[in-house]
Structure 1
Amino acid sequence: MDDHEIRAALDRHWAASEAGDFDAEHQIYAEDAVLDYPQSGERIRGRRNIQSSRAAQPNRKRFTVRCITGAGALWVTEYILAYDGRPSFTVSIMEFRDGKVAHETQYFADPFEPGPSRAQWAERMA
């Protein structure tokens, strides 16, 4: 699978995530994929367990992809994941093997107010 095909698979994955299509969303994962959430210390093994854990999440989720970059086996997606309207800035690091995601690590960060010590050098992002 070349970079263009992986990028297309990622576009389908994130579109399916936004649509709540759990079957299409998880086609990108290898059967033995591993998903890590370092902030909570959780590791989920296997595509079916990853899909089940996400389907069991009760909140309404919205995905807004900001940037996808990568090449070869390593791809990073920056996106905003909103649970019931509350945004969380998220980074997904996906490692591919044989055209499927073998390992994903996701990091989440809540928004915060800008620090006054940086005000003279900073501008507000849209």
Structure 2
Amino acid sequence: MQEAQIREILNAHWQASAAGDLEAEHDIYADDSICDYPQSRERILGRANLQALRGHHPGKPSGFEVTRIQGEGNLWVSQYSINYQGRAAYTISVMEFRDDGKVVHETQYFTDPFEAPAWRSQWVQKMP
């Protein structure tokens, strides 16, 4: 599959996710896909279970912003933030595609923002 096609598929996926369109959001996944959440040590087996889990999330996102999509071949990484109840969760999604354009394995990492310590301010710049 061409990189432009995968990027188009990913853009449609993230737009559907931001809009809360569960059907379109989960169209990217193969029926037998696997999604891992390493921080909670959970594995979701199959597109139907992943869609059901996300459809029953008690804190629906109030904002969603993709900041970077990068990949090559069948392995792609998306960086984005999701706002849940006034708090940002910075997220990395690593997706492995089959040749037919469906995701067979995704791993998602979530993190909360934190204040930068003052001691390192001389070496850094604030990100927008």
**TM-score interval for Structure 1 and Structure 2 normalised by the shorter chain:** over 0.9
Give how far 1:82 is off. 1.1
Counterpart Cα distance in 2 of 1:106 and 1:83: 16
Q: Deviation above 4 Å: which 4+ runs of structure 1?
A: none
Q: Which residue of 2 aligns with 1:93?
A: 94
Deviations 1:1-33 (A, max 9, x none): 211111000000000000000000000000100
The total of aligned residue pairs comes to 126
Q: Which residue of 2 aligns with 1:72?
A: 73
Give how far 1:85 is off. 2.2
Q: Which residue of 2 aligns with 1:39?
A: 39
Please tell me the root mean square deviation across aligned C-alpha atoms, in Å. Answer: 0.8
Counterpart Cα distance in 1 of 2:122 and 2:41: 37
Give how far 1:60 is off. 2.1
Deviations 1:50-85 (A, max 9, x none): 000000001121221000000110000000011122
Counterpart Cα distance in 1 of 2:64 and 2:94: 16
Counterpart Cα distance in 2 of 1:20 and 1:109: 21
Give how far 1:117 is off. 2.1
Match of 1:113 among 88, 112, 115: 115
Q: Which residue of 2 aligns with 1:52?
A: 52
Counterpart Cα distance in 1 of 2:69 and 2:86: 23
Q: Which residue of 2 aligns with 1:122?
A: 124
Tell me the percent identity. 54
Counterpart Cα distance in 1 of 2:77 and 2:64: 15
Counterpart Cα distance in 2 of 1:10 and 1:75: 9
Give how far 1:36 is off. 0.2
Counterpart Cα distance in 1 of 2:90 and 2:113: 7
Q: Residue type matched to 2:36 in 1? A: D
Deviates further, 16-25 or 56-65: 56-65
Counterpart Cα distance in 1 of 2:12 and 2:56: 21
- Give the gaps of 5 or more residues in structure 1: none
Q: TM-score, normalised on structure 1? A: 0.97
